[in-house]
Amino acid sequence: MPALDYVIRIHDGSQMSLLAESIIYLLAAVITVPLSRRLGFGSVLGYLAAGIIIGPFGFAFIRDSEHIYHFAELGVVFLLFIVGLELKPSRLWVLRRMVFGLGAAQVFASAIAITVLAWAFGFSTNAAIVAGLILALSSTAFVIQMLSEKKQLGASHGRAAFSILLFQDLAAIPLIALLPLLGVNASFDDGINFVQVGLVIATIGGLIIGGRYLIKPILNVAARSGIPEIFTATALLLVIGSALLMDFAGISMILGAFLAGMLLADSEYRHQLVADIAPFKGLLLGLFFIAVGMSVNIGLLLDSPLRIMLIVVLLMTAKAIVLYPLARRFGMCDRTAALKLATVLAQGGEFAFVLFSIAASERILPQTLIDELVLAVALSMLMTPFIYAAAELAGGKLQKSSEPEFDVPVNSHHDVLIVGFGRVGQIVGRLLNIMGYSFTALERDSARVEFVRRYGATVHYGDASRLDLLRAAGAEHAKIFVLAVSRLDESMEIAESVMHNFPHLKIIARARNRRHAHKLMDLGVEHIFRETLLSSLAMSEQVLSSLGQNPEDAKHIVDSFRERDEQLLLEQHAIHDSEELLIQTSRDTATELESLLRRDNPDD
């Protein structure tokens, strides 16, 4: 009966086949995840709900979630690999204050607060410390996935959350080593295990060296094979191999994947690796959250609802109360951003499932208490999307109460519309005023609007990404659209909207750099000015003159450079997604320009 082997035989309690389990996982996800996203809670809550429904404490379609949980952990591994690909070592150095400052402060302060609460509830000293340390950690997979879906990882609270989570992943490593020392069989007579310490250092060092000198050549060979499946297999081998290498040394697999990704952040294969790994990451991460949902013991919740909910409320409240002032202390001036950060990290983390299992094996905590705490962690994850949605709503009201309403004049018919009235927009506006041309200026920063108005300038508070405000500002009747917004994502959104809805407008755009310029060129914008180019060229001309160059020769050199650089910008537009080709063309142009200028100045 080969076909019947795949039939779910719940009535006799027998083990179902992997194929039958897969159908249940997929069917549950297909139903709950789109529903959750439609309701505005994101996909993570949908996966958790699916796990609760099909798990042993729900309808018991699947009775054993342990084997799936360990397999699904690869989803977290792939997630951190992709995060590492987006984080160059130079950027990590920039984030050092947030990672080792705010991250460390959050972990230690939260651990102390939770330890005190646990001790007040009658926990032993060791048990209270263990509970505090474990519950201080938040869910990396949960938070990053949720903020990524909301496109908030680049926001101030998103960057801070990532920094804190990175420190927490680092902190989990010594915690895994520390827990056995707190167990009933702990012995301090053996001292420090220098072999294990040496193995950890050697493993991390080997991964870093291998990432620099071995991984890229291997990827080169896979890419040259011309077989997409081979490159994908190589990418999977790279991620899983790095994770297992770290696991072998007793270090978090997540950290291994993150380091491997970060070492390849400068690689020309970065975008291809993301494209190949992303589908596996999405499926396995969803399976991971389903496994977490399956661990929610509904029976225990029904037996002691007040006790369990009290633990959840105290856990999330303590972490939020600790984190909000810390966020403000570390430079997060925006109260809304600090509130979002405090709520998005208030839950327990996936490391709790691993660390509590160690605590159980070392008999640090009784099994009944561990079951309650694991349930509290899962419920805190389940509640996070609701609490975060409430924080966003409260933050929106707080922001609206502190900012004025948009004041764009209706039926404003001027030939020029300036969007972004910062350094660049103000200079354009001043020159237009001097020459007697009228214009309408929009600026979304209310503080800047208030500041500029003190000097007598006419600027209106408005968000140019909103089509109705552009119409009210007279975009349909204007002739020239000056796009002076500095942020790349905001600039691209506005440019795309104007190109589509007001094709008659001549766009004159500011670009922060070559990448920004190339993206504007992708949209068809023709008149692009890189904001630092002209001032840098003027400074260079002055430097050359000060070094003894004839002023006319210095001007000729700078003009030649500018002309060739503009040509290079156009030439590189077709290849701007390939870092390798960009580097090569830049080197070729530098050699060509040096030869040309030396030929024009034979006396040098």
Per residue, what are the HEC states of 134-179?
A: HHCCCCHHHHHHHHHHCCCCCCHHHHHHHHHHHHHHHHHHHHHHHH
Say if 10 falls within a structural domain.
no
Cβ contacts of 370 within 8 Å, gap of 6 or more: 356, 359, 360
Q: For position 356, what pLDDT does the model report?
A: 83
Residue 387 pLDDT greater than 80, yes or no: yes
| pLDDT the model gives residue 177 | 62
Do residues 586 and 501 share a domain?
Answer: no
Among 509, 531, 553, the domain-final residue is 531
Identify whether residues 441 and 459 lie together within a single domain: yes
Domain contains 162: yes
pLDDT for residue 69 = 67
Per-residue pLDDT at 604: 46
Residue 29: give its domain's CATH number: 1.20.1530.20
Give residue-wise pLDDT tens across range 57-112.
778 788 776 667 667 777 777 777 877 776 666 666 667 778 888 889 999 999 99
- DSSP SS3 for 509: strand
For residues 31 and 132, membership in a common domain is answered with yes
pLDDT band per the 50, 70, 90 thresholds, residue 575: low
Mean pLDDT of the chain: 78
The reply to whether 576 and 524 lie within a common domain is: no
In a shared domain, residues 469 and 524: yes
Segment 327-355 mean pLDDT: 82
Question: If pLDDT is split at 50, 70 and 90, which confidence band does 170 have?
Answer: confident
User: Rounded to whole angstroms, how far apart are CA atoms 138 and 118?
Assistant: 18
User: Worst-scoring range by mean pLDDT, 132-146, 155-169, 290-304, 561-575?
Assistant: 561-575
3-state helix, strand, coil in the chain (%, to 5): 70, 5, 25
Residue 401 has pLDDT above 60, yes or no: no
Lowest mean pLDDT among 73-77, 215-219, 517-521: 73-77
For tokens 């499946």, what's the residue? 229
Q: Please name the residues in contact with 31: beta carbons below 8 A apart, sequence gap of 6 or more.
A: 50
Whether 9 maps to a domain, the answer reads no
Q: Is the pLDDT of residue 391 over 70?
A: yes
pLDDT tens sequence across 7-47: 344 344 444 566 777 888 888 888 888 888 777 666 777 88
Instruction: Examine residue 153 and state whether it is found in any structural domain, yes or no.
Output: yes
Q: What is the mean pLDDT of residues 392-408?
A: 60
- Strand pairing partners for 482? 418, 508
Residue 602 forms part of a structural domain = yes
Please report the pLDDT score of residue 59 as a whole number.
Answer: 81
Is residue 206 classed as helix, strand or coil in its secondary structure? helix
- What is the reported pLDDT for 594? 60
Domain that holds residue 257: 15-184+192-295+304-398
Q: Is the pLDDT of residue 193 over 70?
A: no
pLDDT tens sequence across 439-493: 888 888 776 777 777 666 678 877 788 887 888 788 888 899 999 888 888 888 8
Domain check: are 313 and 375 in the same one?
Answer: yes
Q: What is the mean pLDDT of residues 291-297?
A: 78
Average pLDDT over residues 210-224: 79
Q: Is residue 4 part of a domain?
A: no
Residue 327 lies in a domain: yes
| 200 and 82 together in one domain | yes
Last residue of a domain, one of 515, 531, 547: 531
| Same domain membership, residue 413 and residue 332 | no
Predicted local confidence at residue 115, as pLDDT: 93
Percent of the chain surpassing pLDDT 70: 80
pLDDT band at 312 (very low <50, low <70, confident <90, very high): very high
**Structural domain count, the chain:** 3
Instruction: Say whether both 124 and 263 belong to one domain.
Output: yes
**Residue 548 belongs to a domain:** yes
Last residue of a domain, one of 502, 531, 560: 531
Angle at 231 between CA 225 and CA 237, to 5 degrees: 130
CATH number of the domain within which 451 lies = 3.40.50.720
* Dist CA 26 CA 21 (whole Å): 9
How many percent of the chain have pLDDT more than 90?
8
- At residue 304, the pLDDT reads 86
Q: Are residue 254 and residue 209 in the same domain, yes or no?
A: yes
pLDDT the model gives residue 601? 55
Looking at residues 251-272, what average pLDDT do you find?
A: 75
**Do 424 and 481 share a structural domain?**
yes
DSSP-derived pairing of the beta strands 527-530 and 506-511: parallel
Query: Do 577 and 437 reside in the same domain of the chain?
Result: no
Secondary structure class of 406 (helix, strand, coil)? coil
* Residue 184 pLDDT greater than 70, yes or no: no
180 pLDDT band, cuts 50/70/90, is: low
Measured CA to CA in angstroms, residue 78 lies from 30, 75, 287 at distances of 22, 5, 13
